[in-house]
Amino acid sequence: MLLEVRDIHVHYGKIAALKGISLDVADGEIVALIGANGAGKSTTLKTISGLRPLSGGQIVFDGQDISKLAGHKRVRLGIGQAPEGRGIFPGMTVQENLLMGAYARKGSVSRELATVYELFPRLAERKSQYGGTMSGGEQQMLTIGRALMTNPKVLLLDEPSMGLAPMLVAQIFEIIKEINSRGTTVLLVEQNAHQALQLAHRAYVLETGRIFKSAAASELLHDPEVRAAYLGGDLGVS
């Protein structure tokens, strides 16, 4: 198992956001986390990348207990995160933003840069444009591209489809599929449950800080409870 999350508990002050989440991600998989607003999806990703401390439980990555490891050291081990809300540097060019993503790496990053430009030709076209002047979809691409600059073993994606037009959502999901087929494992948080379940191999459904259900994504797409709660009844599934 590449990533093992074991019974993690996370608090914001006195509020328990995660109340014992356990999940596994195998090498090569795309795993989705779905669930309502506030269920704890983003917190789970932030805890794996080291942005939130654990108040209980354990995270094991590539056989190593990383529960107490600083975030930048987790990046070096191969955990790459594309945060929610983009978080690019608006006053830097596209290329400078990408190079910032590689700050934790030693040595040349020309191969990573070439890969990102191959996956996102739009970023190559716009490499000298300021990040802040890119469209919402382009900024989303930049966020994912920046996370790829560390050549991660697992890519953590927080709501990559947020605020994007349907055509662009389809495009971003295609690119995620391509990133995965080139060997990067993906753990994806999505509001857009229907698209996420079509892309992922497996998924976990979160409800108020706990895992409510987990199964093969194709199974969850046809699960009556999941359909009623997250896929808009019968309307969501083709």
Residue 140 binds ligand ATP (CB under 6 A): no
Residue 48 binds ligand ATP (CB under 6 A): no
In the structure encoding, which two tokens stand for residue 138, read together? Answer: 């382009």
Residue 17 binds ligand ATP (CB under 6 A): yes
Alpha-carbon distances, residue 118 vs 111, 179, 218, 219 (angstroms):
11, 11, 30, 33
In the structure encoding, which two tokens stand for residue 74, read together? Answer: 């987790």
Q: Find out whether 139 and 98 touch, Cβ atoms under 8 Å.
A: no
Least Cβ distance, residue 183 to ligand ATP (angstroms): 27
First-to-last CA distance in the chain?
32
Residue 233 binds ligand ATP (CB under 6 A): no
- Options 1, 12, 132, 170; binder of ligand ATP; rule CB under 6 A: 12
**φ and ψ at 161, to 5 degrees?**
-95, 0
Selected range binding ligand ATP among 10-18, 169-177, 216-224, 229-237, rule: CB under 6 A: 10-18
- Options 21, 23, 31, 39; binder of ligand ATP; rule CB under 6 A: 39
Taking the CB of residue 178, how many other CB atoms lie within 10 A of it? 12
Selected range binding ligand ATP among 9-17, 23-31, 131-139, 212-220, rule: CB under 6 A: 9-17
Q: State how far Cα 76 lies from the chain centre.
A: 17
SS3 148: helix
Residue 42 binds ligand ATP (CB under 6 A): yes
Q: Find out whether 126 and 134 touch, Cβ atoms under 8 Å.
A: yes
- Options 3, 25, 41, 54; binder of ligand ATP; rule CB under 6 A: 41
State the binding string over 180-199 for ligand ATP (x if CB under 6 A, else -).
-----------x--------
Residue 43 binds ligand ATP (CB under 6 A): yes
Selected range binding ligand ATP among 33-41, 69-77, 170-178, 215-223, rule: CB under 6 A: 33-41
Closer residue to ligand ATP, CB minimum distance, 6 or 19: 19
Least Cβ distance, residue 133 to ligand ATP (angstroms): 26
Cα gap 101→113, rounded to integer Å: 10
SS3 122: helix
- Chain positions contacting ligand ATP, by CB under 6 A: 12, 15, 17, 35, 37-43, 191
